[in-house]
Structure 1
Amino acid sequence: MKRMHVRRARDLRGNMTDAERLLWCHLRNRLFSGRKFRTQHEIDRYIVDFVCAEAKLIVELDGGQHAEQMEQDAERTRRLETLGYRVLRFWNDDVLTNTDAVLEAILEVLARFAPHPSPLPGGERE
C-alpha cells in the first residue's frame, strides 16, 4: 500500500494543475517566509497538495470536482486536524486570479506559528 502511495504522489507531482504549479513557484525552495514546503506529500492515508511540516500546515487546492465531494473533503480535513495539522483550502480559480490574497492567507497562518528560539535566550535550558 505504501509503495502505491509513493508512486501516486510522484505521478501527481509530475502532473500538477496550473494552480498547483503557480503556487509551488512561490512555496518551493524556502522562498516563502523561509519555510520548507513539500508538494504531493503523503500524510496518513492521504496525499496532500502542500505541507509545511514544521508549522503543521497543509494547503489544499480544490478544482471544480470538489464541489461534488464536499463531505469527503470535510472528512479528510477532520482526519488531518486530528493529527495536529491546520488545513487551508483554496479554489484553483482563487490561486490563478488572486494569488496575492492566497499567499497572504498562508502567511497569516504561518505568522501564528513561531518556532521556539534556538538556542534559548540567556542560555536557559528546557
Structure 2
Amino acid sequence: MREDDPVPPPASGRGDWGRAIGRWARATLQTTQHSARQELRNAAPPPERLLWQQLRARKLRYKFNRQLPIGPYFADFLCRELNLIIEIDGASHDRSVDYDARREDYSRSRGYPILRFSNADVMENLEGVVSHVQATLAQAHPQSLPSTGGE
C-alpha cells in the first residue's frame, strides 16, 4: 500500500468493489436516463404538449408519465397502473420504421399495449383522440397484485 493511498486494498482482492461498481453503474444509467428523459420532455413537439395537458394530473382517472424508459426505449406517455403506452407519431417516425417496429415489439413483449396517434390526429381532432383514450382506459383492467400466499 502506498503512503498516499487513503484506502487499503481488500484482503481477498475483491472486497466490496464489485458491489460498489454495480451501484455506480446503476446510478450512472439512472442519471443518463433522467437527463435523456428531461431532454425529451423539454423538446416535446406541440402535439405531445397538447395531449399531455389532457393526460396529466389524473384528468382521465389514471396517472400518466411522460418519456419513461421501457428498457432501451422511451414511451411518449405511460400509464404504469395499466401498463399502457401512448405514442404520438410525427414525420420523423416515417423515416424510422424499423426502429419503431423494434421498439413496439420490445414493448409488447413486456406486456405494454400501445395506442398510436399521429401528430395530425392530435392537432386536428384532440377531442376524438381523448375519447379514444378514455374508451381504452374504460376497457382496461388494472394489473393485479401478485399473490402473497395468504388469504
TM range, smaller chain: 0.7 to 0.9
Secondary structure at the residue paired with 1:85? coil
Structure 1 position 93 matched with structure 2 position 108: no
Give percent identity, aligned residues only. 36
**What are the Cα deviations for residues 62-110 of structure 1, in whole angstroms up to 9, with x where unaligned?**
1101112122211111110011000111111110101111112211221
More helix by proportion, 1 or 2? 1
TM-score, normalising length: structure 2:
0.72
Query: In the aligned structure 2, how far is the partner of 1:35 from the partner of 1:114?
Result: 11
1:52 counterpart residue number: 79
The 1:16–1:116 alpha-carbon spacing in structure 2 relative to 1, beyond 3 Å, is: closer
2:107 counterpart residue number: 80
Secondary structure at the residue paired with 1:54? coil
Q: CA deviation at 1:61?
A: 0.7
Contact 1:5–1:47 at 8 Å: present in 2 too? no
TM-score, normalising length: structure 1:
0.85
Query: In the aligned structure 2, how far is the partner of 1:65 from the partner of 1:115?
Result: 32
Larger-gyration structure (1/2): 2
Q: CA deviation at 1:116?
A: 7.8
Query: In the aligned structure 1, how far is the partner of 2:85 from the partner of 2:142?
Result: 17
Contact 1:13–1:40 at 8 Å: present in 2 too? yes
1:15 counterpart residue number: 43
Contact 2:82–2:143 at 8 Å: present in 1 too? no
Q: CA deviation at 1:44?
A: 1.0
Alignment length, in residue pairs?
118
1:27 counterpart residue number: 55
Query: In the aligned structure 1, how far is the partner of 2:41 from the partner of 2:31?
Result: 15
List alignment gaps of at least 5 residues for structure 1: 118-124
Greater Cα shift, 69-78 or 55-64: 69-78
Q: CA deviation at 1:111?
A: 1.2
Query: In the aligned structure 1, how far is the partner of 2:53 from the partner of 2:95?
Result: 28
Contact 1:6–1:42 at 8 Å: present in 2 too? no
